[in-house]
């Protein structure tokens, strides 16, 4: 008797992984990412990360400075 994959229970893709909200990046992590993007001349990704960082700083409850 062959087992059909559609009838067997599927295992979740995140089984055994930590789920939920992750901790926010620290400033040193953000700067490390920015430096790597600058060294690789990845202007598009750097511009996107700058926009995200600016948005998060202006719309955050917590002040970074």
Residue 7 lies in a domain: no
Residue 47 lies in a domain: yes
Residue 4 lies in a domain: no
Query: Token pair 């990845």 is at which residue?
Result: 42
Other beta carbons within 10 Å of 45: 13
Q: Are 27 and 34 in contact (CB under 8 A)?
A: no
Q: How many domains does the chain have?
A: 1
Tokens of 25: 């990046």
Residue 36 lies in a domain: yes
Residue 64 lies in a domain: no
Residue 44 lies in a domain: yes
Residue 19 lies in a domain: no
User: pLDDT tens for residues 9-46?
Assistant: 888 888 888 888 888 878 888 889 889 989 899 999 98
Print the domain residue range for 43. Answer: 27-58
pTM of the predicted model over 0.75: no
Q: Name the pLDDT band for 65 (thresholds 50, 70, 90).
A: low
Residue 2 lies in a domain: no
């Amino acid at each position: 008797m062959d087992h059909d994959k559609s009838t067997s229970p599927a295992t979740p893709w995140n089984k055994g992984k930590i789920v939920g909200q992750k901790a926010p990046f620290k400033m040193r992590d953000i700067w490390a990412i920015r430096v790597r993007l600058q060294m690789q001349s990845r202007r598009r990704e750097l511009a996107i990360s700058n926009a995200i960082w600016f948005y998060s700083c202006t719309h955050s409850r917590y002040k970074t400075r």
